[in-house]
Amino acid sequence: MKRKRNLMFTLVALSTMGILFSCKKDETGTVTLQSKQVKDLQADTIIGIYTSGPATGQPYGSGKFTFYSLETNSLIANSDSATNKWDIGLRGTTIITNGGNSGPASGGAFVYVGTFDDLKSVPADSVFRIDNAPTSYAIHTGSGNGWYSYNGATNIITPIPGRILVIRTASGKYAKIEIQNYYKGGVTPDASASDEDKLKKQRYYTFRFIYQSSGSKNF
């Protein structure tokens, strides 16, 4: 039953997720890297609301990560979570990498402050962090600490402009990611929308990324 449920989740996610990518050649005919975009990547959608305890009123999901390969630009089955097939995992606002105690590979990450287009290469003084869950992650969790901010008054999660995720992949190559939206369809609900509507539509990632397949630190 568990394997069937995982398969069904993967099929549903594949059917609702859009993937756009392109590449181009310069005047010399050399292929230059172009960003790829992933839309509506479902990351453990909400199945209920806590009614007691310190998290009262907060949403919860099934607790499963959605695993994604930047190398192949594709979803990876939950059954492969202990392999080097995936590069990032997403569950709610938490993003893990395939390294440390999150996975068996050599993955890591840090958050770069600047624009996606201006990040041309991994800075020479960069320090890649690794996951040490549940106390810390390579990509910091919590509002304002990593890639997003949470507005308690409106109950809306918004990507922080100028926060780029620099990823060391499972195979030791490099990628950069910009989270563009956290809601289904890539549209953030209006502040006046009901909390039910906001919760129903969240945990659907839209992001763009560049993966450097050559192993170079240049993007």
Tell me the average pLDDT across 206-210: 98
Burial of 120 (0-12, 13-18, 19+ CB in 10 A): exposed
pLDDT at res. 78: 95
Buried b (16+ CB within 10 A) or exposed e, 174-197: bbbbbbebbbbebebbeeeeeeee
Instruction: Quickly state the pLDDT bin for 7 (edges 50, 70, 90).
Output: very low
Select from 124, 192, 203 the least CA-distant residue to 155.
Answer: 192
In whole numbers, what is the pLDDT of the chain averaged over residues?
Answer: 89
Domain membership of residue 218 (yes or no) is: no
Task: Count other C-beta atoms under 10 Å from residue 33's C-beta.
Answer: 16
Query: Count of domains in the chain?
Result: 1
Tell me the average pLDDT across 44-60: 85
Q: In terms of DSSP H, where are the helices of 86-211?
A: 195-201
Out of 39-48, 76-85, 182-191, least confident range: 39-48
Sequence-distant (6+) residues with CB within 8 A of 18 are: 37, 38, 39, 40
Domain membership of residue 202 (yes or no) is: yes
Task: Count other C-beta atoms under 10 Å from residue 57's C-beta.
Answer: 9
Whole-angstrom distance, CA of residue 123 vs CA of residue 120: 9
Residue 117 structural domain: 2-212
Tell me the average pLDDT across 177-195: 97
pLDDT at res. 86: 98
pLDDT at res. 24: 53
pLDDT at res. 19: 54
Instruction: Quickly state the pLDDT bin for 17 (edges 50, 70, 90).
Output: low
Domain membership of residue 217 (yes or no) is: no
The amino acid present at 139, given as its one-letter code, is I
Select from 76, 133, 136, 83 the least CA-distant residue to 110.
Answer: 136
**Per residue in 125-173, pLDDT tens?**
999 999 999 999 999 999 999 999 999 999 999 999 999 999 999 999 9
pLDDT of residue 29 exceeding 90, the answer is: no
Say which residue the tokens 């192949």 belong to: 72
Whole-angstrom distance, CA of residue 55 vs CA of residue 65: 20
pLDDT of residue 21 exceeding 90, the answer is: no
> pTM here?
0.85
